[in-house]
A = this chain, B = another copy of it.
């Protein structure tokens, strides 16, 4: 399996639940955005025996901590995750709550002129809200 080493090297035991979730998340042509509920549906579509919702949450958070997933800051009652972990930005379609990647090259370089004492910049994220 192609994800066993990835997990072991991260100090995560390659359980069959995690391997299945890796398949769903990372074995795709394109990266994508998802909520935990959407991920649960994708997992159910893939297999017959289900994975507990608690495990899905555990795994998503474990992967996020290891840097294999990112959370996207949007106003929603659900948390949005991204399998695209490169530096990039987002369109947010207010109509249907869907996100669209906005590559760094599609946004001019962002230069934050102000500094905050004793703090380092961890990330700079642009959210472009779309309406009709």
Q: Which A residues are within 8 Å of any B CB, using their own CB?
A: 71-75, 79, 91-94, 100, 102-103, 105-114, 116, 118-132
Copies of this protein in the complex? 2
**SS class of chain A's interface: helix, strand, loop or mixed?**
strand
What's the minimum C-beta distance from A60 to chain B, rounded to whole angstroms?
13
A124 touches B130 (CB 8 A): no
A113 touches B120 (CB 8 A): no
Bound complex: CA A72 to CA B119 (Å): 21
A–B pairs, 22, beta carbons within 8 Å: A71-B75, A73-B73, A73-B74, A73-B92, A91-B116, A93-B119, A106-B114, A107-B110, A107-B113, A108-B110, A108-B111, A108-B113, A118-B132, A119-B131, A119-B132, A120-B130, A120-B132, A121-B130, A122-B131, A124-B127, A124-B129, A127-B127
